[in-house]
A and B are shown apart, each in its own frame.
Chain A
């Protein structure tokens, strides 16, 4: 039932477009920088910063979605859903959204990279091959998405602790 809920919201919620674009942008940037890493200690530091930035940026974007759920949360509770069902459904939704954004981001990133060498003289500088950069970008984004979904789900879990009448009393 959590999956059913998550998929329904996935198809209908508007915020998601914004969210997917946000994630897409983060992942593209991620991938571009990774694929242009230059040899040396700088590369390690750059990669580490990108990892942290990815996790922070993706989590913040995804938490934004989990912030706007009070009304639906109240309805689910009023209709007899348990906290587990509700939280799990939001976790699935966030994860799916994140995954879609990241995959689109990588797609855009690769397309750009195929076009870019024609314009800029960066080719041959990079430490990583295209496949390696892709692998790292994917890994970093997945970590970010997992963290984002977990934090989002935690915030929903906490919210769902309030009594239903109180949740409705505080919906803007």
Chain B
């Protein structure tokens, strides 16, 4: 495998189990994302885009196959080791918000940095940098529970970027955004914020797919 590869998915099989039945999502998926590349994943609802993001983030395990993140095979590592790799290298924007509602925006942004063991001052510096880039300064001290859905999305995006990760995994990142904010976010993909970063994004939107260096199409597995 070339050292130029940021993400490499090899012959991955994923089946969900539930109530004695099994639901296959994919039998054999393979692809690669080069460092600095922007790969968009498109496909119909239920085809497994979110599942794929979870697998690459190490939040779930495949039944077969290998997934390499920055050259490391995360399917073979203990979970805590994958967690440590994730906090250093990966930023994830989830399709369904998973900020902590009882904490403020500021505290939510701080959280990944706490896990990285950063001091309070370092954390403040990082958070302030990110606030400017993501147009969220106005509500930084509000509880996340009080945010609008679009605001929530922008904070999720900022949280994914807070530790300056090399690789970003974005699951429908522009859902819930108005066209103007969507444009701003999409522009940031090409602008200086994401310069040099590797992007793997799922999307239903043409605007984003057009921006990608490459697009792959996941087919829906028929039962």
Residues of chain A having any CB pair with chain B under 8 Å: 1, 4-5, 8, 12-14, 71-72, 74-85, 163-166, 168
Q: Is the CB of B54 within 8 A of A165?
A: yes
- Interface flags for B45-78 (1: CB within 8 Å of A; 0: not) read 0000000001001011100000000000000000
Pick the residue among B60, B115, B117 that contacts A79 (CB under 8 A).
B115
Q: Which residues of B contact A77 (CB under 8 A)?
A: 59, 83
Closest CB-CB distance, A11 to chain B, in whole Å? 9
Q: Is the CB of B111 within 8 A of A79?
A: yes
Pick the residue among B60, B88, B107 that contacts A165 (CB under 8 A).
B60
Q: Which residues of A contact B8 (CB under 8 A)?
A: none
Count B-side interface residues using an 8 Å CB cutoff.
28
Q: Once the chains are docked, how many angstroms separate the CA of A74 from the CA of B54?
A: 12
Q: Is the CB of A163 within 8 A of B80?
A: no
Q: Once the chains are docked, how many angstroms separate the CA of A56 from the CA of B114?
A: 35
- Is there a chain A Cβ closer than 8 Å to B86's Cβ? yes
Pick the residue among B88, B98, B114, B116 that contacts A78 (CB under 8 A).
B98
Residues of chain B having any CB pair with chain A under 8 Å: 54, 57, 59-61, 79-80, 83-84, 86-88, 92, 94, 96, 98-100, 102-103, 107, 111-112, 114-117, 159
Residue of A nearest to B61 (CB): A163
| 16 further contact pairs, Cβ within 8 A, besides A79-B115, A85-B115 | A1-B117, A4-B114, A5-B114, A78-B59, A78-B98, A79-B87, A80-B83, A80-B88, A81-B83, A81-B87, A82-B83, A82-B84, A83-B79, A84-B80, A163-B79, A168-B98
Q: Once the chains are docked, how many angstroms separate the CA of A3 from the CA of B61?
A: 30
Closest CB-CB distance, B76 to chain A, in whole Å? 15
Q: Is the CB of A12 within 8 A of B102?
A: yes
Closest CB-CB distance, B10 to chain A, in whole Å? 20
